[in-house]
Amino acid sequence: GTSDVDRALGRFRQAALLGTGGYGRSTDAYTLIMNGVLGRLDWTSVTGYNVDDVTSNRDATAVAGGFFSSQALSIYGVSGAGIPASFRNQKFSEELRFTLPIGAGINWLFGAFYTDEDRRPVSDTVAVDPGTGESEGLLLRTANPGTYRERAAFTNVTFDIAPRFDLQLGARYAESEQS
């Protein structure tokens, strides 16, 4: 065990506040791929959705020259400081592409792409009782949520020049927003 949970370690001493040092991550990812044919037009749709959750709890007693622990002592009467944090990122994306033969050995691909991403990080700095590991109160909360969105259109033409040689010419236009 660790010194956080196993008191039988005797002379080995804990170097961090009780309850800190933890880290967790959970990721859920889903993908849907569909293909079809509409006359001479082949199409593919690729849809993705994922959620990424991260949690951690760090010992902040000595951070910034002990600033947080001095604040914890003056406000709450305890000398420890911890930073429990959580981060959630959700993302949705969609790509739709079409391929059309436009001549002998010439194929045209065109399509569109969209993504929408939301981030919600939250980080608290809390006063912690070093003897119990219990949080006594909030010292600082930081939250920096953000979004990212992108829209794009793309195209390329492939020329089959030889059995093992193709030439592709293409272009992509994209717009993105970030906050």
Over residues 64-100, the pLDDT tens digits come to 778 999 999 999 999 999 999 999 999 999 999 999 9
Nearest CA to 143 out of 59, 91, 85 is that of 85
Over residues 159-178, the pLDDT tens digits come to 999 989 999 999 999 999 99
DSSP per-residue string spanning 106-166: EEEEEEEEEEEEEEEEEEEEEEE-TTT--EEEEEEEEE--EEEEEEEEEEEEEEEEETTEE
- pTM over cut 0.85: no
